[in-house]
Amino acid sequence: MKTVYVDNNATTQIADEVREAMLPFLTDLWGNPSSMHTFGGQVKKHVEAAREKVAALIGAADPQEVTFTSCGSESNNLAIRGGAEAMDKPLHVITSKVEHAAVSGPCHYLEDRGFRLTKLDVDSQGDLDTGALVHEVKSGKSLTSIMWANNETGVIFPVSQIGELVHEFGGIFHTDAVQAVGKIPMNVSELPIDMLSLSGHKLHAPKGVGALYIRRGTKVKPLVLGGHQERGRRAGTENVPYIVGLGVACDLAGKKLSEENDRVKAMRDRLEQGILACCPGSRVNGDSMHRLPNTTNISFDFIEGEAILLMLDDRGICASTGSACASGSLEPSHVLRAMNVPGTAVHGSIRFSLSTYNTDEDIDAVLTELPKIVQRLRELSPFV
């Protein structure tokens, strides 16, 4: 049975080009880039080449503004915890109610240690209440962390407007761009963004590598101490094969941006329209205009999303009900609850997220199987 993978916001397959680029650093070029001898030192130029490729994808003015980490979660922790601890108290930490746990977690960590925390609402389309943001940033020095694009709905937030508001009142602005990098164009050097997180495995690099953009002049205290690596911002010998892989993945993502926003978006739209046409009682969650080109989140009234996923899985189709980091929880999505999605629909939501590796045949397979599954579950539902 062929696997149809439409869960690319959870993770992506490693690109062939990435794997090939990593291999020499798992075999012959295994030296420590900090070594004084040639055998180790020769590796350092490959780390710096990867840094330049990451900087190019996000539009950083200087590659030295890129710090390599182990993942997007570490990047978010370094930005929020390290950023807050580098600023004097009192400090107001501002975020939204629809952030990934990798952002809400460190925000609550700071709240437990005496920092004031505010979580902003979103409306029924998942768009941020920027009026409330204005009120909060006026109340004192702040560190604001708002995601660039939501991992469950794909809704894109106005990061330029948010950053301008935060800066107007002297605050620092971080954005979790894990889902946005490589899917939409960005140029941080021209945006009021102080820190930006990204993750390798969301853009066809391996799991275990990420990066944090830190605009020159932004103060951050390191979370990992004990070494000089990454200009003192993150101790520990560099994960050279994965860093090289991330660099190649960023290079590929930059070359495929137009494909993401043309072919992938067209497949997403055909999938979405096909589901809405074939499955009465279904609805798209989130702002349909300001959305990542690869993501759709659809609710089906009166049936459980987990049941849909299990029946899709039996047919070789991989999707999700939301964040993979919240899998196993019986609670409905905090994102959809914040959007006030009706109770009849909030438990029956499915996220489909595509990549450039998907094909029209994948979309056909979902459109063939999903309506039959929805109809069968409705026949069994005591609520219909």
The owner of tokens 């997220």 is: 353
Residue 325 exposed, middle or buried by CB count within 10 Å (0-12, 13-18, 19+): middle
Compute CA distances 62 → 46, 55, 133, whole Å. Answer: 17, 7, 30
Neighbours of 329 (CB within 10 A): 12
Q: How does DSSP classify residue 356?
A: T
Backbone φ, ψ for residue 115 (5° rounding): -80, 145
Which segments of 60-173 does DSSP mark as H helices, in order? 72-77, 83-85, 101-112, 130-137, 159-168
Q: Using CA atoms, how far apart are residues 30 and 43, in angstroms rounded to an integer? A: 8
Q: Using CA atoms, how far apart are residues 24 and 22, in angstroms rounded to an integer? A: 6
Active-site annotation holds for 325: yes
Q: What distance, in Å, lies between the first and last C-alpha atoms of the chain?
A: 32
Q: What is the largest CA-CA distance in the chain?
A: 72
Residues carrying an active site annotation: 325
